[in-house]
Amino acid sequence: MAASERPVPAAPRALNRTTLAAGVRALARRDRDLAALAAKNGLPPMWARRPGFPTLVHIVLEQQVSIVAARSLFRRVRAQLGDMTPELVAERGIPGLHRLGLTRQKASYCHALARSVLDGSLSLPGIARGDDATGRTALLALRGIGPWSADIYYLMALRRPDVWPIGDLALAVALQEVKQLRARPDAQRQLELSAAWAPWRSVAARLLWHYYLGKRTPRNK
């Protein structure tokens, strides 16, 4: 069988450093722009997070704010609660979470998430074990969990290899620059561009995030 006729190897269920590198090599063979990013910047970070309730709360806090601001708020809230568990979040209630610094909207989202875990309507271990489509549907049924939040959970916490996070501003900017597009690509255009990178779209996202952060992080002279 000729090399061009060989089937594309299936991506693993979850990325690790070895399979991340394999994904970068596979993308570099088919997309010279991503190959250039990998050659210049090296292997992107894994940016892995521990699956579970605290990470999902952290992702909710990241919505529409900077990563640094969300991290600071998450740490402050966790320190005030003593931990980040569904029991403690539910016990504090929406007013109590608001007094800790969450907006009323995000306080209601986090409280609803905690109640869903406690009453059994949401099983995060079950989502991790199940198929992606079913689990994503379960996450999207929750108040405050939209497509971006569900995708980030699958991409970073569950480390699925073929997720493109819809609505990520940094990726839109990176795509415009790397692909030299006249306009910033909207969600539909991003899906069209990223389709060529299946089954390694999560790896492509990491390459583009790595590029984006490298361009905007001050370097010591």
Confidence of residue 12 (pLDDT cuts 50, 70, 90): confident
For range 129-136, the mean pLDDT = 93
**pLDDT attached to residue 8:** 53
Compute the distance between CA of residue 47 and CA of residue 13 in angstroms, rounded to an integer: 17
CATH of span 11-46+163-216? 1.10.1670.40
For range 48-65, the mean pLDDT = 96
Tokens of 20: 């991340």
Q: How far is CA 49 from CA 56, 59, 166, in A?
A: 10, 10, 19
Compute the distance between CA of residue 38 and CA of residue 160 in angstroms, rounded to an integer: 20
**pLDDT attached to residue 4:** 42
- Residue ranges of the domains in the chain? 11-46+163-216, 53-157
Tokens of 59: 């992702």
Percent of the chain with pLDDT over 90: 88
Whole-number CA gyration radius for the chain: 19
Q: Give the chain's mean pLDDT.
A: 93
Confidence of residue 7 (pLDDT cuts 50, 70, 90): low
pTM: 0.91
Examine the pLDDT at 2 and tell me if it is beyond 80. no
For range 43-48, the mean pLDDT = 96
User: Residue 70 is which amino acid?
Assistant: A
Topology at the third CATH level for domain 53-157: Endonuclease III; domain 1 (1.10.340)
**How far is CA 29 from its chain centroid?**
25
Confidence of residue 14 (pLDDT cuts 50, 70, 90): very high
For range 101-119, the mean pLDDT = 97
pLDDT one-digit tens code per residue, 181-205: 999 999 999 999 999 999 999 999 9
| Same fold: 11-46+163-216 with 53-157 | no
**pLDDT attached to residue 10:** 67
